[in-house]
Structure 1
Amino acid sequence: MYKAKLLHANISSGTFVDFVQQMIQLGKSRTSTSVFVANVHMFIESKQDYQFGLFFNNADIVLPDGKPLCAALNFLYGIKQERVAGMDLMPILLDEASKSGVIVYFYGSTDDVLQKIREKCVLVYPSLKIGGMYSPPFRKLTADEDQKIINDINASGAGIVFVALGCPKQEKWMSAMKGRISSVMIGVGGAFPVFAGAQKRAPKWMQDASLEWLYRLIQEPRRLFKRYFVTNSLFIFMVLREKLRLSWFPSHT
C-alpha cells in the first residue's frame, strides 16, 4: 500500500481487505499507529488549519471514508480507490480482532454509548477481549490525566484503540499519543453511537447512491449544514480548479 497525493494531502491507497489485514497485524505487534478516517470535512480542515494539515500528512494511514475523495482521485489522476467507511470498518475489525486475539479499547463518546457497545460486543463477538473503555470529560485533560489514560491503555494490552472524539479533536489526540500509546489508534467518529444502536445509519440504498450525507443532514441540519454545503462546495471548486490546471499543464502534477 502507498499514499496517493490528492491536491495538498496524502490519502492511503489500497483495498478494504488490505487495510483490515494491515491494522490487525499492527495490532498484534502493538505498534503505535495513527489511522485517520478522512471525509471531505477533514480534508478541508487539513487545508485551512496548518497544524492540522501537518497531523493529517504525518498520519501513518489515511483512509478515504468519503466517496467524494475516491471520486476525486479517479477524476484527477485515474486512481481507482474504494471507499473505506469508518462505520463499516469498526465492526469488521472487531470481528477480526476477536478471531486473532487482539485486545481492543474504546475511547470517547458517553458512558451510556460505551455500555451499549460492550453489551453488543458480548453478544456478537463473544471471544472479543475488551481491554477497557473510557469516556473523557469535554474539558481539556490535565497532563496527569493524560498520563493515566496512557498508562491504562498500555497496561490493558490493547492492540487497537477505537477513538470517537469527533473531528478534528480525535485526530489531534491520536497525533499527540503517537509513540506514547502502544496501539493502533483509529479515529472512527460517529461509528460509536451507530454501532451501539443509539443512532441510525442511512439505508443501504442511500449508502450505495452516495446519499448518506443527505440522510445525516436531515438528522442534524444545524450541525451539518455548513459542513455539507459550504465545505463540499469548496472541495468541488478545488477539484475542478486542479483539473483545469492539469489540462493546461499536464506535465506539472
Structure 2
Amino acid sequence: MINQGKYSILGININAVDYDFAVSKITDAARSKRACSVSALAVHGVMTGFFDSVHARRLNGLDLVVPDGQPVRWALSWLYKKRLPDRVYGPNLTLKVAESLTKEGLSIYLYGSTTETLEKFARNLAQSYPELKIAGMEASKFRKLSEQERSQLVKRIKASGANAVFLGLGCPRQETWAYEYRDLLNIPILAVGAAFDFHAGTLPQAPKWMQDLGLEWVFRFVQEPKRLWQRYTILNPLYLWHIFQQYLGLRKFVPTLPNGKEKIESYG
C-alpha cells in the first residue's frame, strides 16, 4: 500500500498513491458512511483546473485525486521523484472498489450517463460481482439542476441507503458535482467518467500496451475525433510545456484551496 503524499502538478494537488491505498481509503469511508470525494484525473482534468482558478479550488478540495493518466503519473516522478508502480486508472479503480464493497456487503448508487448505459453497466457489474448491492441508479439530466432538484436528489440517494456513489458525468462536471455534494451526502463519491461507458460496453478501451505507453489518447481521438480533437491537440502540448517549465523551476504552481465562494454549478 503506497501513500507518498500530495504534490502540485500545475497547481492541482495529486495524491501519489497506488490502487491498494485508494481502495482502502474509499472502502473505509463507505463502511463508516463518511464523506470522501474522489477523482481520477488525466491531463484534461489537470488542465481544466489550470485554466480555471475556481475549478482548481474545487479539485484541491477533494479528498483524493489519483493519477489516472500516465503523463500525470510521470509528472510525479519527474518533478518529485515519486515513482509509482502504475497509474490509478479510473475504470480499474471502479472495479476494484466494487469488488471491495461487495466483500464488505456494502452498496452503491450509480449516477450519471444515460439510462441505457446505466442499465448495461449495472448488468455487467452484477455479472462480475453477483453479491454487489446496487441501491439505486439515476441517469443525468444533462443540464444544471435547480436547488429543489438538488435537494430531492440528495434525499433519494440517502433514502436508498447507499454506502457510496459511482459518478459518471464527464470531466469537469463530475468533479464539480463531487465537490458540491460531498458534505450533503457524507459518503464516498467516486468520479470516474468514462468507466461507465467502458464497463457498459458502449465505448471501447485502448489496448493495454497503448495505455502503458501513455498513448490511450490516440486511441480515443480516433474513436471520437470531433469531440476530442481540441482536448488532445491543444491541451496535451500545453500540459507538457508547463510541466517542463515547472521542472526547470521557471514557474511555480502553488495550489489554491477552497474559500467557500465557489459558484454552485451542479450539473446533473
TM range (shorter): over 0.9
**How far has the Cα of 1:198 moved from its partner?**
1.1
Task: Say whether 1:111 aligns with 2:115.
Answer: yes
| Equivalent in the alignment of 1:159 | 163
Conserved in 1, the CA contact under 8 Å of 2:9 and 2:243?
no
- Within 5 Å, give how 1:111-130 maps onto structure 2: 111-130=115-134
Whole-angstrom distance in 1 between the partners of 2:209 and 2:8: 30
Q: Read off the aligned partner of 2:128 and give its amino acid letter.
A: V
Conserved in 1, the CA contact under 8 Å of 2:16 and 2:76?
no
Task: Say whether 1:192 aligns with 2:235.
Answer: no
Give the 3-state SS of the residue equivalent to 1:122 in structure 2: helix
User: Alignment partner for residue 80 of structure 2, among 77, 81, 84?
Assistant: 77
Give the 3-state SS of the residue equivalent to 1:132 in structure 2: strand
Task: Say whether 1:41 aligns with 2:41.
Answer: no
Structure 2 alignment gaps of length 5 or more = 253-268
The aligned length equals 248
TM-score, with length taken from structure 2:
0.89
Deviates more, 1:237-246 or 1:225-234: 237-246
User: Alignment partner for residue 63 of structure 1, among 43, 66, 72?
Assistant: 66
**How far has the Cα of 1:201 moved from its partner?**
0.6
Give the 3-state SS of the residue equivalent to 2:184 in structure 1: coil
**How far has the Cα of 1:83 moved from its partner?**
0.5
| Equivalent in the alignment of 1:139 | 143
Deviates more, 1:72-81 or 1:165-174: 72-81
| Equivalent in the alignment of 1:13 | 16
**How far has the Cα of 1:78 moved from its partner?**
1.1
Task: Say whether 1:172 aligns with 2:176.
Answer: yes
| Equivalent in the alignment of 1:148 | 152
Whole-angstrom distance in 2 between the partners of 1:183 and 1:96: 15
Whole-angstrom distance in 1 between the partners of 2:98 and 2:80: 34
**How far has the Cα of 1:209 moved from its partner?**
2.4
Conserved in 2, the CA contact under 8 Å of 1:101 and 1:128?
yes
Task: Say whether 1:87 aligns with 2:109.
Answer: no
Q: Deviations over 1:17-58 (max 9, x none)?
A: 111111111111111121111111111111111110100111
RMSD: 1.6
Whole-angstrom distance in 1 between the partners of 2:103 and 2:15: 26
Structure 1 alignment gaps of length 5 or more = none
Q: Read off the aligned partner of 1:33 and give its amino acid letter.
A: C
TM-score, with length taken from structure 1:
0.94
**How far has the Cα of 1:12 moved from its partner?**
0.8
Whole-angstrom distance in 1 between the partners of 2:90 and 2:230: 21
Q: Read off the aligned partner of 2:140 and give its amino acid letter.
A: P
- Within 5 Å, give how 1:20-35 maps onto structure 2: 20-35=23-38
Higher relative contact order (CA 8 A, sep 6+): 2
Whole-angstrom distance in 2 between the partners of 1:100 and 1:79: 31
Conserved in 2, the CA contact under 8 Å of 1:64 and 1:85?
yes
**How far has the Cα of 1:119 moved from its partner?**
1.5
**How far has the Cα of 1:130 moved from its partner?**
0.6
Whole-angstrom distance in 1 between the partners of 2:212 and 2:45: 22
Conserved in 2, the CA contact under 8 Å of 1:37 and 1:187?
yes
Q: Read off the aligned partner of 1:62 and give its amino acid letter.
A: V
